[in-house]
Amino acid sequence: MDFSVLYIGSGQASWNGAVPLAKSGAKVAVIEESQYGGVCSNKGCNAKIILDKPLELINRVKDLQGRGIDGVPTVNWEDLMAHKHELIVPQDAHGKERLDNVGITTITGHAEFVDTHTVAVDGKTYTADKIVIATGLRPHVLDVPGHELFENSTDFLSLPHMPKHVTILGGGFVAIEFATIANAVGAQVDVITRSNRLLRQFPAQYVAEVQADLKARGVRFISDMNIKSAEKTAAGQIALTGDHEFQLTTDYVLDATGRVPNHDQLNLEAIGVEANQRGIVVNEYLQTSVENIYAAGDAIDKQVPKLTPTAAFESRYLTARFKGDNDGPIVYPAISEVVFTSPRIAQVGVHLDQALAEPDRYEVTEASYDGDWYRQVENEQGAKLSLIFDKNSKALVGAAEKSNNADNTINTIVPYIQMKMTKEQLNDLVYVFPSIEYTLQRRLPLV
């Protein structure tokens, strides 16, 4: 065999495990057909958070108007985009170097299976004892006449000029995060959804509040609407039609109707790897229906969120398994999530909606930060934290927050929940004062 382990794809689900595996002496190869480092590094999380940063700052400045700050700056989209390019363009080369530097063989091109131990790239074949499929997802394309006029998340993250009127199809992460950005940069934003519920992963109450906030800032929501067609107008705009004779003319359409697995381009049927429209089917060891072939990251059909930290966790799990350090099944920890709206919503552990629906099992305490002197240093209004306790064990089992600092608060809570920390242990943590963490600690039932 040419290699001990061969990874298809170079994203978070690949390099987080491949690098330590190679360092331990294994003969490792990574095949990448596009940019090294995958979606998060090149056209996902990293690029998005750069575009979000000025919004976050501006929101904080707005909250302090007349309280020490006069005047609100505006976003210069072209300069911001240049800053984004400067940081993101080198990621591809860095991603390859990270692999080359530890002796991993990098192969650039599209991989397809020949048999269960052999993969072909541009007519050349490579063999390996074990193969890890880490091929991720690509944007879904809404199947309507004229869809070629739509752009996707990758296009938006390199948009040279912000159009006057941006229309977004979908109500998930990408749709709402990018609606927040386009609105803050000054575009008229319309969000068209086929149902009336946005961001299904997050607590209904907090999502409704974020939506109301976006509406107040001028974002229009058109719900229960199926788009039927798109056409270019004589003036160069895009004319959309939908249910009940709906018509809308706009400058730009972002198709944010989800992401689909790339496994349809791997010749899996020929070698018997089972897959469906949600991803590759794996067992509790991340093993596919073919014994020596594994899968990790967004590529797999799984219940846990398809996020960067889960992809990295799975990659590290596989490395521990391949090295013989862990022969048990994958056990997912408490997984935290955040949506980068302004304010943000973040959560970890038991879902707030589930906890509210099961009052016999869970106790939920909701606290508004409006009366909290430290959080009011920033004068943010309407920030809220829900803590979820198991009624039997009294343990903290979940939390959700809506605030500008929600990601930080929830990160602080992650170890409390994951380590099942007791009241005594929580009481023993000494945080910096004043700080968000100190403020949060005071909300927990300590001694």
Ligand X SMILES: Cc1cc2nc3c(=O)[nH]c(=O)nc-3n(C[C@H](O)[C@H](O)[C@H](O)COP(=O)(O)OP(=O)(O)OC[C@H]3O[C@@H](n4cnc5c(N)ncnc54)[C@H](O)[C@@H]3O)c2cc1C
Ligand Y SMILES: NC(=O)c1ccc[n+]([C@@H]2O[C@H](COP(=O)([O-])OP(=O)(O)OC[C@H]3O[C@@H](n4cnc5c(N)ncnc54)[C@H](O)[C@@H]3O)[C@@H](O)[C@H]2O)c1
309 binds ligand Y (CB under 6 A): no
Residue type, 205: Q
Question: Considering beta carbons, is residue 48 or 321 the nearer one to ligand Y?
Answer: 48
Binding piece for ligand X, criterion CB under 6 A, among 51-59, 242-250, 303-311, 438-446: 303-311
What is the rounded distance in angstroms from the CA atom of residue 57 to the CA atom of residue 97?
33
177 binds ligand Y (CB under 6 A): yes
54 touches, from ligand X, ligand Y, none (C-beta below 5 to 8 Å by class):
none
142 touches, from ligand Y, ligand X, none (C-beta below 5 to 8 Å by class):
ligand Y
List the x/- string, 283-302, binding to ligand X by CB under 6 A. Answer: --------------xxx---
38 touches, from ligand X, ligand Y, none (C-beta below 5 to 8 Å by class):
ligand X
Residue type, 291: E
Three-state SS for 309?
A: helix
Question: Residue 65 CB, nearest distance to ligand Y (Å)?
Answer: 28
| DSSP string for residues in 381-428 | -S-EEEEEEETTT--EEEEEEEETTHHHHHHHHHHHHHTT--HHHHHT
What is the rounded distance in angstroms from the CA atom of residue 252 to the CA atom of residue 332?
40
Binding piece for ligand X, criterion CB under 6 A, among 27-35, 98-106, 320-328, 437-445: 27-35
9 binds ligand X (CB under 6 A): yes
Q: Which of 338, 346, 399, 436 contacts ligand Y by CB under 6 A?
A: 338
User: HSE-up of 248 (CA within 13 Å, CB side)?
Assistant: 27
Question: Considering beta carbons, is residue 45 or 395 the nearer one to ligand X?
Answer: 45
Strands 238-242 and 227-232: antiparallel
254 binds ligand Y (CB under 6 A): no
169-199 burial string, b = 16+ CB within 10 Å, else e?
bbbbbbbbbbbbbbbbbebbbbbbbbeeebb
Nearest to 253 by CA among 173, 340, 144: 144
Question: Residue 410 CB, nearest distance to ligand Y (Å)?
Answer: 12
Q: For binding to ligand X (CB under 6 A), which residues are involved? A: 8-14, 31-35, 38-40, 44-45, 48, 110-111, 134-137, 153, 174, 262, 265-266, 297-299, 306-309, 311
